[in-house]
Amino acid sequence: MIPIPSAIDGQSFLLQELEQVMKPLGYVINGGWEYDHGYFDYKIDDRDGYLFLRIPVNAVQGSLDERGAAVRIGTPFMLRQVFQADLAEGGPFQSLFNQFSEPERRDAEIDPAYLDIGASLVKELEDVLLH
């Protein structure tokens, strides 16, 4: 995990408004949401696992499943997850059964070449959300 300092860290938004801005930019809501926190993920690469820019959010008003919920953005970070090789090589049918399997390495090493991409994505969010 590599944190990316940003001016959006600590900013609050209505969750619905944040979704309306971030989804068209390519962000998806991570499946591991809870009532009080969650993540927006931008998939940067999917070779040999998955590399994401992850934007954490925490509820500051209501629960994430409620209309009118407000969230505070945390520090964006890059995260790479590598899955077990035998699960990835099972073909499309096998992947249906293993899509929810735990990663072999949740916080795998990130090639430094990707750091500029993460920083530019965060800059894009700052430009969209703060201006």
**Can you give the pTM of this predicted structure?**
0.82
Query: Hey, which residues does 80 pair with through a beta bridge?
Result: 51
Three-class HEC string of 50-64: EEEEEEEEEEEECCC
Range of the domain at 10: 2-130
Which CATH number fits the domain that encloses residue 105? 3.30.310.100
For 97-116, the pLDDT digits (tens) are 444 555 555 667 898 989 99
For 9-67, the pLDDT digits (tens) are 999 999 999 999 999 999 999 877 899 999 999 999 998 889 999 999 999 999 999 99
Beta strand 2-3 with 12-14 is unpaired
Domains identified in the chain, total number:
1
